Amino acid sequence: MHRVSALAFLLLLLSVATDASVHTYSGDKFADKGNAFVVHGGSEGIYSSAPNHNDTSSAANGDSYIRFERITFRRNKDFTNFSSLPIQAVVFEVEDRETIGGSAYGGQRAVCCTSDLAKLGVCTEGQVIHRPSAENSDWPKVFGVSFEMDEDVAALPLKSIEITKTGMYNLYFIHCDPRLKEIVVEGKTVWKNPSGYLPGRMAPMKIFYQFMSFAFVFLGIFWFSQYARSWKDVFPLQNCITVVITLGMFEMALWYFDYAEFNETGVRPMGTTIWAVTFGTVKRTVARMVILMVSMGYGVVRPTLGGLTSKVVMLGGTFFLASEVLELVENVGAVSDLSGKARLFLVLPSAVLDVFFILWIFTSLSATLNKLQARRMLVKLDIYRKFTNALAVAVIVSVGWICYELYFKSKDIYNEKWQNAWVIPAFWQVLSFSLLCVICVLWAPSQNSTRYAYRDDGSEEFDRDETTLTLIKPSPISKEVRSLPDDRSVQGNNGISNGDLEEDKTE
């Protein structure tokens, strides 16, 4: 009989995870894994029951358990002329993974008990090999049911397993009978934490999104109060920032309600999740386009993007589609259920487009800074330097965090660090919010906003061939230069002085 290494078997199966505390099985078929036939029933981080938990109907009653409800196995009616070996449910904590499986005489480890192992008296042939945990002799939990002669349906008894130790728990339905062809499992299991039905690794995100909702509210109060007081002096860039803040407020609120409902019912609300994903994707797309337009000088040193408008819109639309598909699969479905190639197929386009955004942003910033310095627009040059520094810090921190994320996932093969996993997605939200705050401070609406806006007086014409980045502080303008009138300002209406010199004097 073909055998498989238990370590490789668990490595393959433990990598699968779902985001639903009510796991439903609708005719799931058993897969051939070595000498066993397996259905993965779920993997979740669960906190131990509270010492003084109560039996109220509230989801947050302090009780933790895995409950089996109406689990039935069906076999083809053409193959009911024999009594089968047992079909077993195996529940174990990830630290006890070595208690599942065994080997005879130092050979390869197998999940199902073989004739050689049965002769040694360590297991019963045709059943799952398991040994008591060193920490708790009652674990792992293994129980099952068999098909009797002429039966095509076998049902597991109703059972609830209380969780008394915090850990990553795994459930598999396993049988070792090759005669059971086309057998399927139906029913559901309910996984509960002390605070509700949210999986343990997702529970902190509910509090996090609540915090982020308040953070966006405070940012919105600051921005909209400034906007209301100086609405006559608002220029197009500030309107774009207003859109990003509004989208962020909706996104955080939707994510919070999504997690709150998930926690109460154990089933993720499809509609709320889709709306949260869509608002988040639109916000990220608009934010990237706004940063790119700022880098190009839109609304500050140029009135329009000219021929670049269609290219910016095309890049933004492509990024939206790639990100929306990825986010929907990750949140509405489960990206971890996909193969490595399928995952790469979804992640790669979004990552490539992000890199393209970054390269285009810094190339545009280089040209804009160079032109501002050449024209000695010191007020705008100062604000763009601060903006460039903030972007550079954000990119450096992002690269460092990506390296940490890869290290974290490479070292956490069995999801043993699930209690800290929420920090990884939360970091990206905090980083993007921090960058938005910097932009809001730099371009906050005020009565002096017109100093940062483009003025169509002929003083802000740029040469198109300047593309290099120069961050050397310009030398001060001599008094002789300051005293020279500008020909255009003399010929202009009402004797308006040159815009560049006015900006210089405000310094």
DSSP string for 188-231? EEEEEBTTBSS-TTTHHHHHHHHHHHHHHHHHHHHHHHHHHHTG
pLDDT confidence bin for 182, thresholds 50/70/90: confident
Amino acid at residue number 412: D
**How far separated are the first and last CA of the chain, in Å rounded?**
84
Integer CA distances (angstroms), 20 to 17, 24, 412, 426, 462, in order: 9, 9, 21, 20, 56
Highest mean pLDDT, choosing among 216-225, 291-300, 414-423: 216-225
Domains 17-50+61-193 and 200-454 alike in fold = no
- Mean pLDDT to the nearest integer, 384-395: 93
Say if residue 141's pLDDT is above 90. yes
Of the candidates 191, 180, 294, 198, which has an alpha carbon nearest to the alpha carbon of residue 237?
A: 294
Q: Categorise residue 352: left if φ over 0, alpha if ψ from -120 to 50, beta otherwise.
A: alpha
Cα-based angle 68, 71, 74 (whole degrees, multiple of 5): 165
Helix (H/G/I), strand (E/B), else coil: 32: strand
Q: What is the DSSP letter of 130?
A: B
Q: Which residues pair with 43 in a beta bridge?
A: 170
Say if residue 20's pLDDT is above 90. no
Cβ of 323: how many Cβ atoms within 10 Å?
22
Read off the tokens for 283. Answer: 């916000």
Gap between the Cα atoms of 230 and 246, Å rounded: 18
Say if residue 246's pLDDT is above 80. yes
Select the more confidently predicted residue: 451 or 16.
451
pLDDT digits (tens, 9 = 90+) for 51-81: 876 665 567 678 899 999 999 999 998 888 9
Integer CA distances (angstroms), 248 to 428, 432, 438, in order: 13, 10, 15
Say if residue 271's pLDDT is above 90. yes
* HEC profile of 45-84: EECCCCCCCCCCCCCCCCCCEEEEEEEEEECCHHHCCCCC
Q: What is the DSSP letter of 302?
A: B
Helix (H/G/I), strand (E/B), else coil: 392: helix
Select the more confidently predicted residue: 298 or 441.
441
Question: Quick one: which H or E segment has residue 38?
Answer: strand 36-46
Highest mean pLDDT, choosing among 106-110, 237-241, 326-330, 355-359: 355-359
Helices (H) and strands (E) in the chain, counts: 12, 10
Largest CA distance in the chain: 108
Gap between the Cα atoms of 337 and 358, Å rounded: 31
Say if residue 107's pLDDT is above 70. no
Q: What is the CATH number of domain 17-50+61-193?
A: 2.60.120
Q: Regarding beta strands 141-145 and 167-175, do their DSSP bridges make them parallel or antiparallel, or are they unpaired?
A: unpaired
Gap between the Cα atoms of 454 and 367, Å rounded: 17
Q: What is the pLDDT of residue 456?
A: 55
Helix (H/G/I), strand (E/B), else coil: 371: helix
The whole-model pTM stands at: 0.80
- Mean pLDDT to the nearest integer, 288-312: 84
Say if residue 221's pLDDT is above 90. yes
Say if residue 223's pLDDT is above 60. yes
- Mean pLDDT to the nearest integer, 104-111: 74
Q: What is the pLDDT of residue 17?
A: 39
Read off the tokens for 187. Answer: 């029913």
Say if residue 270's pLDDT is above 80. yes
Average pLDDT, the chain: 82
Gap between the Cα atoms of 303 and 482, Å rounded: 27
Q: Categorise residue 48: left if φ over 0, alpha if ψ from -120 to 50, beta otherwise.
A: beta
pLDDT confidence bin for 493, thresholds 50/70/90: very low
Sorted by where each begins, the domain ranges of the chain are: 17-50+61-193, 200-454
The CATH number for 200-454, chosen from 1.20.1070, 2.60.40, 1.10.10, 3.30.43, is 1.20.1070
Amino acid at residue number 138: D
Read off the tokens for 89. Answer: 């449910």
